[in-house]
Amino acid sequence: MASGSYFFSTILLFSFVTMAFSDSLSPFYYQRVCPQALPTIRRIVFNAVRQECRMGASLLRLHFHDCFVNGCDASILLDSTSTIDSEKNSLANDNSARGFEVIDRIKSAVDNVCNGPVVSCADILAVAARDSVFALGGPSWTVQLGRRDSTTASRTDADNNLPSPFMDLRALIDNFSKQGLDVKDLVALSGGHTLGLAQCRTFRDRIYKETNIDQGFAAQRQATCPQVGGNSTLAPLDPSPAYFDTRYFGNLVMNKGLLHSDQVLFNGGQTDNLVNTYSQNIRVFANDFAQSMIKMGNIKPLTGNNGQIRVNCRNVN
Ligand code: HEM
Ligand SMILES: *[C@@H]1O[C@H](CO)[C@@H](O)[C@H](O)[C@H]1NC(C)=O
Ligand SMILES: *[C@@H]1O[C@H](CO)[C@@H](O)[C@H](O)[C@H]1NC(C)=O
């Protein structure tokens, strides 16, 4: 008994020491140094989403596009310079990624309330994504904190790592698995498309050329997405783009997925069952989504003395 508790307290001490000195993130990272950091982020996200619902979707997507390119290190926020080829110009982000001004606003408010740059841009992206989902009726979760910001960015890495809407299920599974995310993460996180809008150029081939599509839905989308021109005309990714619900999955079951990469999740393959489950059960979807967001948020963070805490999210210090 005595040796048993000694054994366990040794393990406890050991894990405390490794936690303090290893590369792990912690939900309490800013608790002592700046307790107002998280409430400040939340307030600005809520205000931005109240002004424009879509901003919640855009902020969620920024975190995803950050994490898939060399980890969640705010590389997506860096503007081009003579030495930085901005990820903002990559195929998936160019004329598409948005919300950068909101991140700037959060950063200056947080640095103000914290009396200096102690909160990283990468952590701001992770918290803003969580708060955006919550603001639009989705689940909340505990965000791991302590990521540091990159001093580099790579447009090429963004082109090679951000999935395209024209991919098939096999490629999506492969690309997610390269990030340490499994098939369930792929389906749950694709549920992010319960929020937000997409441009005509991303779903034109689907609504004109594909056969696994509801005919009424195709006609409805064709009305605002012509075969030639209108590349940037917007359509909702699900019928309720400002509300976190299961309708994205319900749509897939009815062959009303907007993107090719959406409908492949329900097209006779291995993910059909999970799509069916999520379409019928918001609690299962919301819970899995939250878990997968935490997992995605933990992709290759910079910690310790790696990277830096940027003063301006758009520039290296
Ligand atoms: C599975 C692979 C994925 C592909 C191929 C994909 C592709 C796309 C495309 C093409 C758009 C429309 C962009 C535009 O037209 O400007 C979009 C929008 C969006 N995506 Fe994804 N996406 C994927 C996964 C995800 C994930 C994992 C999330 C978040 C968890 C996410 C969140 C969003 C959101 C919220 C929007 C709407 C953004 C807005 O309205 O500003 N996507 N996605
Ligand atoms: C995704 O995986 C496929 C292989 O299935 C590969 O050809 C492609 O380059 C990958 N793309 C991205 C963006 O990771
Ligand atoms: C519209 O998008 C298509 C497909 O991405 C592209 O080939 C074409 O050049 C674009 N047209 C314009 C006017 O940007």
- Can you give the residue ranges of every domain in the chain? 8-162, 169-288
Residue-wise DSSP of 86-139: -GGGSTTTTTT---HHHHHHHHHHHHHHTTSS-S-HHHHHHHHHHHHHHHTT--
Cβ neighbours of 315 (radius 10 Å): 12
Facing residues of 154 across strands? 85
Task: Yes or no: say if 90 and 158 are a contact pair by the CB < 8 Å rule.
Answer: yes
CATH code for the part of the protein at 169-288 = 1.10.420.10
57 CB near ligand 1 (under 6 Å)? yes
- What is d(CA 259, CA 198) in angstroms, rounded to the nearest whole number? 8
Q: Which of 91, 167, 168 to mutate to test the pocket of ligand 2 (most atoms within 8 A of CB)?
A: 167
- Ligand 2 is surrounded, with C-beta below 6 A, by 160-163, 170-171, 174-175
Residue nearest atom 8 of ligand 3, based on CA coordinates: 231
Distance linking the first and last C-alpha atoms of the chain:
54
Q: Express each pLDDT in 243-279 by its tens digit.
A: 999 999 999 999 999 999 999 999 999 999 999 999 9
Query: Which ligand 3 atom is the nearest neighbour of the CA of 204?
Result: 4
**pLDDT score at 23:** 60
Q: Catalytic site residues? A: 65
8-162 folds as: Peroxidase; domain 1 (1.10.520)
Q: Half-sphere exposure of residue 19, counting CA atoms within 13 Å on the CB side? A: 13
**pLDDT score at 15:** 41
231 CB near ligand 3 (under 6 Å)? yes
Q: Which of 59, 134, 182, 193 to mutate to test the pocket of ligand 1 (most atoms within 8 A of CB)?
A: 193
User: Which residue ranges in the chain fall short of pLDDT 50?
Assistant: 1-22
Distance 87 CA to ligand 3 centre (A): 20
